[in-house]
């Protein structure tokens, strides 16, 4: 009874804290501008199944893809055992589900253990790639400090989680063979049975019960720790990859959205009928997160920091400062900063979150050198396994600097002047349409 009470209290505290933090992330994402969705719900569902559930793009790099798949499938299947742990924790029973599904129970547990073992191998390989092999994309400046520690903490947490599973199941198997009360026979769990018989069998029943309970509580504490930690970690993509792939942009690669008011002016200049329902825009492009679309903020929270985008970026490969991964990380950090200040009631007018202004902007984190280094090639968009579009915010920041600040590289100014005066990128009006050929 004491264990049930403790378990219930801990559950209430953890879920309360986690739900509040996840809700804060949801409200932070809502700080972005509304934007229309492309395509149909069926096409968006297809994207979610292919890219989030099926991890289609992960296998473009087979080694990382296969080992990530082991961890991913192990994570999904262990939820079966986790559900049972919650049932047992509240009810005080042991292996509750085994009484209801019969022979399927040992089959399920053996599958979980096999995948957990493969996930353990994958975790050590990922630690090796990051910390010993030191792959270039994991050594970029934006990953120094906390981002690198974050990745290692989760990997080490996964190791402890798998150990807890085998400790719990291994001790359980030995206790079953001894006919100990409260440990009903459930069938053979091959991996944990091997571990239990070769390492734990010399121990007394009392010690085995202690170890089994240690494994059980360690498992649940690691899970609770993940729940509280994930909102602060890049591993939030475990959950957000699904809505992000569902709401991803379905426009063809390279399509740039027009600014309605400017498009309307251009229509008038070239003799086309102007629209009458176009609202004037106070700001062109984006200075801060409020001017970005809500999908961009969702993408920032979804970013896995895997670096595949930066790894294929031609600007980054030629030594320029631009890193698409850093752009998304900076947007996420700025969104978190703004969200915390709004929750504290600071820098807002009449309680309106979108009126927030603390005198800072995304340009304090993302330099002009970065945004103008982008070639708009869409390599980063194509590379992202969870369908994030780093190009979109880069273009929005460019638009703000050019149209609101009259900024831009000096090399671009003759082109701007020619477009304004001659309606072409050339300096002679006779060739006004040559640039489009």
Does a structural domain hold residue 89?
yes
Same domain for 156 and 264, yes or no, is: no
Same domain for 274 and 220, yes or no, is: no
Same domain for 233 and 371, yes or no, is: no
pLDDT digits 0-9 by tens, 344-394 = 888 776 677 777 888 899 999 999 999 999 999 999 999 999 999 999 999
Does a structural domain hold residue 218?
yes
Same domain for 226 and 284, yes or no, is: no
Same domain for 196 and 287, yes or no, is: no
pLDDT digits 0-9 by tens, 163-191 = 999 999 899 888 888 877 777 788 888 88
Does a structural domain hold residue 251?
no
Are 147 and 234 in contact by the 8 Å Cβ rule? The answer is yes
Same domain for 234 and 292, yes or no, is: no
Same domain for 144 and 198, yes or no, is: yes
Same domain for 231 and 373, yes or no, is: no
Residue among 65, 412, 52 at smallest CA distance from 244: 52
Does a structural domain hold residue 408?
yes
Does a structural domain hold residue 77?
yes
Task: Provide the pLDDT confidence category of residue 434 given band limits of 50, 70 and 90.
Answer: low
Number of domains observed in the structure of the chain: 2
Which tokens go with 64? 């990382």
Does a structural domain hold residue 56?
no
Task: Give the per-residue pLDDT at 264.
Answer: 78
- Host H or E run for residue 122: helix 104-131
Which tokens go with 145? 């400090």
- Last residue within a domain, chosen from 196, 216, 246: 246
Can you tell me which residue has the tokens 């595949």? 308
Same domain for 77 and 17, yes or no, is: yes
Averaged confidence pLDDT in the chain: 89
* Residue with the larger pLDDT of the pair 411 and 282: 411
pLDDT digits 0-9 by tens, 106-128 = 898 899 999 999 999 999 999 99
Task: Give the per-residue pLDDT at 430.
Answer: 59
Task: Give the per-residue pLDDT at 272.
Answer: 78
Same domain for 229 and 352, yes or no, is: no
Which tokens go with 163? 């150990």
Task: Give the per-residue pLDDT at 436.
Answer: 67
Q: Which of 65-69, 93-97, 421-425 has the lowest mean pLDDT?
A: 421-425
Does a structural domain hold residue 37?
no
Task: Give the per-residue pLDDT at 299.
Answer: 97
Which tokens go with 177? 């063979």
Q: How many other C-beta atoms lie within 10 A of the C-beta of residue 229? A: 18
Same domain for 281 and 384, yes or no, is: yes
Same domain for 314 and 165, yes or no, is: no
Residue among 104, 17, 13, 39 at smallest CA distance from 245: 39
CA distances from 233 to 195, 248, 304 (A): 33, 21, 9
Task: Give the per-residue pLDDT at 127.
Answer: 96
Does a structural domain hold residue 189?
yes
d(CA 399, CA 250): 22
Domain that residue 92 falls in: 2-30+61-246
Section 130-159 average pLDDT: 93
- Last residue within a domain, chosen from 222, 246, 270: 246
pTM: 0.90
- Last residue within a domain, chosen from 204, 222, 246: 246
d(CA 48, CA 170): 37
């Amino acid at each position: 009874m004491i264990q049930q009470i403790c378990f219930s209290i801990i559950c209430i505290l953890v879920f309360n804290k986690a739900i509040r933090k996840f809700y804060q992330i949801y409200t932070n994402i809502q700080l972005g501008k509304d934007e229309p969705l492309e395509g149909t719900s069926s096409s968006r569902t297809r994207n979610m199944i292919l890219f989030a559930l099926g991890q289609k793009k992960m296998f473009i790099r087979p080694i990382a893809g296969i080992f990530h798949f082991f961890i991913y499938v192990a994570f999904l299947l262990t939820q079966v055992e986790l559900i049972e742990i919650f049932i047992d924790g509240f009810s005080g029973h042991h292996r509750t589900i085994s009484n209801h599904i019969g022979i399927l129970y040992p089959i399920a547990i053996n599958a979980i253990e096999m995948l957990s073992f493969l996930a353990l191998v994958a975790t050590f390989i990922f630690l090796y790639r990051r910390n010993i092999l030191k792959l270039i994309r994991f050594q970029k400046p934006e990953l120094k400090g906390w981002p690198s520690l974050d990745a290692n903490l989760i990997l080490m947490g996964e190791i402890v989680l798998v150990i807890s599973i085998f400790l719990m199941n291994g001790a359980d198997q030995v206790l079953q063979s001894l006919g100990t009360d409260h440990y009903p026979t459930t069938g053979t769990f091959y991996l944990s049975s091997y571990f239990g018989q070769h390492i734990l069998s010399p121990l007394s029943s009392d010690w085995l019960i202690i170890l089994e309970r240690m494994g059980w509580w360690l498992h649940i504490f690691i899970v609770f720790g993940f729940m509280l930690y994930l909102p602060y970690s890049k591993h939030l993509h475990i959950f957000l990859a699904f809505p992000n792939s569902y709401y991803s942009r379905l426009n063809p690669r390279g399509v740039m959205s027009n600014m309605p008011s400017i498009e309307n002016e251009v229509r008038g200049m070239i003799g086309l009928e102007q629209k009458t329902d176009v609202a004037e825009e106070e700001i062109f492009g984006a200075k801060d997160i409020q001017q970005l679309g809500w999908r961009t903020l969702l993408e920032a929270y979804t970013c896995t920091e895997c670096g595949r985008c930066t790894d294929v970026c031609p600007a980054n490969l030629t030594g320029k400062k631009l890193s698409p991964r850093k752009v998304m990380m900076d947007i996420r950090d700025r969104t978190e900063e703004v969200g915390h200040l709004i929750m504290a009631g600071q820098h807002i007018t009449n309680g309106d979150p979108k009126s927030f202004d603390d005198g800072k902007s995304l340009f304090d984190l993302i330099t002009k050198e970065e945004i103008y280094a982008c070639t708009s090639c869409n390599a980063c968009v194509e590379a992202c396994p969870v369908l994030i579009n780093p190009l979109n915010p880069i273009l929005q920041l460019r638009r703000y600097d050019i149209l609101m600040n009259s900024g831009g590289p000096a090399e671009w100014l003759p082109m701007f002047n020619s477009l304004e005066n001659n309606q072409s990128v050339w300096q002679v009006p006779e060739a006004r349409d040559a640039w489009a050929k």
